[in-house]
A and B are shown apart, each in its own frame.
Chain A
Amino acid sequence: MGLIGIATAKILSSFSVFLFLTIILLAVARRISTSVLLFGLQSAVITADVIATAFQEKLPEVYVVGVLVFAIKVMVIPRALFVLTKRLKTVRDVQASTTPTQSVFIVAAIIYLSYAAVHSYAGAIHVSDDALAAAVSVILTGSFLMVSRKKALMQMLGLLVLENGIFLAALITTFGMPLVIEIGIFFDILMGLLLMGIFTFRISDTFEHLDVSKLRRLRG
Chain B
Amino acid sequence: MLLLLPLAIPVLGAGLILCFHNPRAATRAALGLGAVEIALLGVLVWQVHERGALHEGRYLRADGLSSLFLLVIAVVSALVLVYASGYLRHMGEGRFSSPRWFYALVFLFLFTMISVCVSANLGLLWIMMEGTTLASALLVGFYNTEGAVEAGWKYLIVCTVGIAFALFGTIVLYIAAVRAGMSPASALDWVSLMDAAPRAGFDPHLMRLAFVFVIVGYGTKIGFVPMHSWLPDAHAEAPTPISALLSAVLLTCAMYAVMRYDAIVSRAAGPLFSHSLLLSFGLASMIIAGLLILVQRNLKRLLAYSSIEHMGIIAIGLGLGGPLGLFGALLHTFNHAVAKSLLFFGAGNVRLNLNTLHVDSIRGLSRSMPQLSAALVIGALAIVGLPPFSLFVSEFGILSEAFAQAHYVVAILFLIMLSIVFGGFAFHFLGMLSGEPNRSPENARLVPSEYTTMACAALCLLVFGARIPHGFAVLLQEAMAVLK
Residues of A within 8 A of B (CB): 121, 124-125, 139, 143, 146, 152, 155, 159, 162-163, 166, 169-170, 173-174, 177-178, 180-181, 184-185, 187-188, 191-192, 195-196, 198-199, 202-203, 206-207, 212, 215, 217-218, 220
B138 at the interface (CB under 8 A from A): yes
Chain B residues positioned under 8 Å from A217 (CB to CB):
146-147, 150
Q: Which residues of A contact B179 (CB under 8 A)?
A: 125
- Residues of chain B in range 286-337 having any CB-CB distance to chain A below 8 Å: 292, 295-297, 301
B84-135 interface (Cβ within 8 A of A): 121, 123-124, 126-127, 130-131, 133-134
Q: Contacts of B133 on A, CB cut-off 8 Å?
A: 192
Q: How far is the CB of A84 from chain B (nearest CB, A)?
A: 15
Decide: A218 and B164 in contact? CB cutoff 8 A.
Answer: no
CB distance A178 to B168 under 8 Å?
A: no
Query: Which of B138, B184, B188, B203 has the most CB atoms of chain A within a 10 A radius of its CB?
Result: B184
Say yes or no: is B273 at the interface (Cβ < 8 Å to chain A): no
Contact B146 A185 (CB under 8 A): no
Count A-B pairs with CB separation below 8 Å: 121
A202–B156 contact, CB under 8 A?
Answer: no
User: Using an 8 Å CB-CB cutoff, how does the interface string of B134-146 with A read, 1 for contact, 0 for none?
Assistant: 1001100100111
Contacts of A177 in B (CB 8 A): 123, 171, 174, 188
Residues in B lying within 8 Å of A, measured CB to CB: 59, 121, 123-124, 126-127, 130-131, 133-134, 137-138, 141, 144-147, 149-154, 156-157, 160-161, 164, 167-168, 171, 174-175, 178-179, 184-185, 188, 203, 205-206, 209, 232-233, 236-237, 292, 295-297, 301
User: A178 near B127 (CB under 8 angstroms)?
Assistant: no
Q: How far is the CA of A139 from the CA of B164 in the complex (A)?
A: 10
- Contact between A191 and B188, CB atoms less than 8 A apart: no
What residues of chain A lie closer than 8 Å to B295, measured between beta carbons?
220
Which residues in A have their C-beta under 8 angstroms from that of B126?
A: 181, 185
Assembly CA distance A121 to B153 (angstroms): 36
* A173 nearest CB neighbor, chain B only: B175
Q: Nearest Cβ distance between residue A121 and chain B, in whole angstroms?
A: 7
Given known pairs A125-B175, A218-B237, the reply for A192 and B160 (CB within 8 Å) is yes
Contact B233 A178 (CB under 8 A): no
- A170 neighbours in B (Cβ, 8 Å): 171, 174
Given contacts A124-B205, A218-B147, contact A192 B134 (CB under 8 A): yes
Assembled-state Cα–Cα distance A185/B129 (Å)? 11
A149 to chain B, nearest CB (A): 12
Cβ 8 A contact of B134, one of A174, A181, A184, A191? A191
